């Protein structure tokens, strides 16, 4: 494998134990990165002190940046401070298999024509579900689900994780993606998402959708990691806010990225209605409140701009 300079960017906020586990797995890679850039959005810079106590500074070099910013801003800041030919983006709660960086880098290096803009590995602790009632429900209502990695008419992605062979995809999960430097010169993570709702959900769908219109994106099952996030937080006190933020971001990104054919608008509306039904089935009153607030935000947004572009 020819010499390639690899950078790693990890946004984090107030999760010391998680990022220590993540860094441990990165420092055990068979192909070590040239640098690890940590962008810490916590209120204070205490993490820098703990990093210097626990990890050597130059094996590889760990750069610490303290900036109270959103996730998308943190990724852009990390990119600006990186020097690699390939830049990996990880969430602070992932744990990499020892060959993860080597396997992803191999896909880039085997691409002699430079058509591949981004690569993603396999999140092994995600159970590929295509046959349960939940999967059927999501398919019916044009929602995100496991599939071939392509975007649906609604603008929501399908997930290719769990497939056994290298595949071309359109969606790269933000917690486990890598891009060529030239891509990150041409495209930026949308910082408006954080300012719009305070929550950067769907930022990976937005970025990979835009990149995939011009470059190939690839999934490799040979690069493996675990994402130890807690996806189910039904008792979260902020659940109503999170649901509202999701709906607001989804509306913004649909307007921004998707063609306004009637089929797309129908799929978008179906996805929204499906999310409402799911909150009812889950007997989740906070989620219902958040959904209604999100719909109110849509109703009072610039609907003229939204509807006048419909292709009939």
- How would you write the pLDDT of the chain (312 residues) with one tens digit per residue? 457 899 999 999 988 999 999 999 999 999 999 999 999 999 898 898 888 888 766 666 899 999 999 999 999 999 999 999 999 999 999 999 999 999 999 999 999 999 999 999 999 999 898 889 989 999 999 999 999 999 999 999 999 999 999 999 999 999 999 999 999 999 999 999 877 666 788 999 999 999 999 999 999 999 999 998 754 344 455 778 888 889 999 999 999 999 999 999 999 999 999 999 988 988 888 888 989 988 998 887 654 444 334 332
pLDDT at residue 123, as a whole number:
97
| Enclosing domain of residue 288 | 239-307
Instruction: Read off the DSSP letter of residue 168.
Output: E
Do 218 and 100 have their domain in common?
A: yes
Query: Measured in Å, how far apart are the chain's first and last C-alpha atoms?
Result: 52
Do 294 and 205 have their domain in common?
A: no
**pTM, two decimal places:** 0.90
pLDDT at residue 231, as a whole number:
43
CB contact set of 78 (below 8 Å; sequence gap of 6+):
9, 10, 11, 37, 39, 65, 87, 89
Do 97 and 245 have their domain in common?
A: no
Do 168 and 58 have their domain in common?
A: yes
Do 257 and 210 have their domain in common?
A: no
Domain count within the chain: 2
pLDDT at residue 302, as a whole number:
56
What residues form DSSP beta bridges with 225?
96, 123
Do 205 and 280 have their domain in common?
A: no
Q: Which two tokens stand for residue 99?
A: 């060959």
pLDDT at residue 172, as a whole number:
98
Cis-peptide into 38, omega within 30 deg: no
Do 183 and 274 have their domain in common?
A: no
Within-domain flag for 134: no
pLDDT at residue 198, as a whole number:
66
Tell me the CA distances in angstroms from 312 to 64, 103, 264, one per residue in order: 52, 46, 12
Q: How far apart are CA 143 and CA 157, in angstroms?
A: 8
């Amino acid at each position: 494998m020819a010499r390639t300079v690899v950078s790693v960017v990890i946004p984090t906020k107030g999760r010391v134990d998680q990022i220590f586990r993540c860094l441990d797995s990165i420092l055990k890679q068979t192909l070590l990165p040239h640098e690890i850039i940590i962008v810490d959005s916590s209120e204070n810079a205490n993490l820098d002190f703990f990093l210097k106590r626990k990890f050597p500074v130059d094996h590889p070099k760990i750069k610490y940046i303290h900036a109270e910013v959103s996730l998308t801003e943190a990724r852009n800041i990390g990119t600006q401070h990186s020097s690699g030919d390939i830049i990996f983006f990880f969430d602070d709660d992932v744990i990499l298999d020892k060959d993860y960086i080597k396997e992803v880098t191999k896909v880039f290096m085997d691409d002699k024509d430079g058509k591949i803009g981004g690569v993603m590995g396999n999140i092994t602790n995600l159970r590929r579900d295509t046959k349960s009632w939940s999967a059927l429900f999501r398919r019916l209502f044009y929602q995100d689900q496991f599939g071939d990695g392509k975007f649906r008419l609604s603008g929501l992605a399908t997930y290719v994780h769990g497939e056994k062979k290298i595949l071309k995809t359109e969606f790269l999960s933000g917690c486990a993606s890598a891009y060529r430097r030239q891509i990150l010169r041409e495209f930026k993570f949308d910082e408006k998402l954080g300012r719009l709702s305070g929550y950067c959900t769907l930022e990976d769908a937005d970025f990979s959708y835009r990149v995939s219109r011009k470059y190939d994106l690839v999934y490799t099952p040979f690069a493996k990691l675990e994402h130890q996030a807690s996806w189910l937080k039904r008792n979260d006190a902020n659940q109503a806010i999170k649901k509202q933020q999701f709906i607001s971001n989804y509306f913004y990104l649909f307007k921004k990225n998707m063609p306004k054919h009637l089929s797309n608008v129908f799929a978008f509306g179906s996805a929204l209605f499906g999310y409402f039904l799911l909150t009812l089935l889950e007997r989740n009153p906070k989620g219902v409140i958040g959904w209604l607030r999100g719909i109110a935000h849509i109703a009072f947004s610039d609907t003229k701009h939204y509807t006048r572009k419909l292709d009939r």
